[in-house]
Structure 1
Amino acid sequence: MGGSMIWNIHQRELPVPAKQVGALLDTVAEPGNPLWPSQNWPALVLDRPLQVGADGGHGDIRYSCTAYEPGRAVEFTFAPSMPFTGAHTLEIIDRGESGCVVRHLLVAEADGPPSWLLWTCAIRWLHDAVVEELLDGVATAAGQPPARPTSWSPWVRVLRLGFGRTTDPIPVG
């Protein structure tokens, strides 16, 4: 039985040149980079510098880099061991004089009803929180910190307790 499709998009418009934000994108897998919210989530770790073929992930989420255009886009495809088939992409869209858009797109298929239920009830909520914090990091590193930083919903707080992450540095929105 086939699974259900998952489409998940997050984006942030920034009045900053795409080239400047693209240079930040290239650091996303480096230790201590300003984008990945490792103060609140497991670090994004790869087995080599960011490039096609680099394997790794964050926490239990495993993937490999399957496409990379320096300064523009990176795609990570889920490892076969994951309950989803598909990829997520982080890209910088040049808007010329008005700046750029930073977009995170996840397109995947749940490998059956249990995987769909896991996505719907838990992973989606955690994923959304991580990505929004990542976009806050991009904006801040680009000199445009969000007026209202991301906050966790009560459900994200409950899920983090269930997954053994009890630190609570993000205020309730």
Structure 2
Amino acid sequence: MVHNLHVRRLPAGEAEVGRLLDSLAGPDDVLWPVAHWPRMRLDRALGTGAVGGHGPVRYHVGAYVPGRCVRFRFTAPRGFDGFHEFSTVPLGPDETELRHLLRIRLRTPAWLTWPLLWRPLHDALIEDSLDRAERAVRGDVRAPARWSPYVRLLRAFIGPRGSARPR
């Protein structure tokens, strides 16, 4: 079982951070790092039952509580049995934790592709997303995420959005 959690404490109330979450896959998406990663697309507005994905990753929205949580159930790549979700956790009137949790049971061939391909790319994408959230509420990012040399190498092989960016 893979349990992969990314967390960012943001200096904003839950409603403000929740608006970032609610913008996912919409025309004014503030959260997803579209400049350097495949855009998250859904067949309709963000809501339970919407179907879509990003790049070769496919899923449907299994649960959605506006401003609080959205859970996506994987349908591809092959061997991923589970979900990924964004959620907000209020820590006080002016501080909220934005979380991204991925929980999957790996089946063939994902037991090999997850550690070699998907995990490093996933981790880089999610940290870029959390940077966008922080920039949206603070105006800047205190400690921007950096892609590892391995992520840069993988990105060099995935096409137009795959070239390493200067960091």
TM-score of the aligned structures, taking structure 1 as reference length: 0.90
The residue correspondences of 1:72-151 to structure 2 (distance < 5 A) are: 72-79=68-75, 82-112=78-108, 114-143=109-138, 145-151=140-146
Please list every run of 5 or more consecutive structure 1 residues that lacks an aligned counterpart in the other structure: none
Q: Which residue of 2 aligns with 1:15?
A: 11
CA contact (8 A) 2:59 2:75 kept: yes
Give the C-alpha shift of residue 148 in structure 1: 2.2
Structure 2, unaligned runs of 5 or more: none
Q: For the residues of structure 1 that align with 2:105 and 2:166, how far apart are their CA atoms?
A: 31
Is this contact kept in 1: 2:17–2:88, CA < 8 A? yes
Between the aligned partners of 1:169 and 1:89, the Cα distance in structure 2 is 27
Picking from 127, 152, 164, the partner of 2:147 is: 152
* Contact residue 81 and residue 104 of structure 2 kept, 8 A: yes
**1:138 maps to amino acid:** A
Matched, 1:24 2:14: no
Matches within 5 A, 1:41-80: 41-79=37-75
What stretches of structure 1 move > 3 A for 4+ residues in a row?
none
Distance in 2 of aligned mates of 1:115 and 1:83: 5
Deviation at 1:144, TM superposition (A): 5.0
| Alignment: residue pair count | 166
How far does residue 65 in structure 1 lie from its aligned partner after superposition? 0.3
Deviation per CA, 1:12-53: give whole Å up to 9, x if none. 011210111101110011134221111101000000000000
- Distance in 1, Cα, partners of 2:4 & 2:26: 25
1:50-96 deviations in Å (ceiling 9; x for gaps): 00000000000000000000000000000166320000110000112
Separation in 2 of the partners of 1:31 and 1:97? 29
SS in structure 2 opposite 1:9? strand
Contact 1:77 1:88 survives alignment (8 Å): yes
Superposition TM-score, scaled by structure 2 size: 0.93
Deviation at 1:170, TM superposition (A): 4.3
Secondary structure of the structure 1 residue equivalent to 2:93: helix
2:128 aligned partner, one-letter code: E
Tell me: CA distance 1:66–1:38, structure 2 relative to 1, closer, same or farther (3 Å).
same
Question: Are the structure 2 counterparts of residues 39 and 32 from structure 1 closer, same or farther at C-alpha, using a change threshold of 3 Å?
Answer: farther
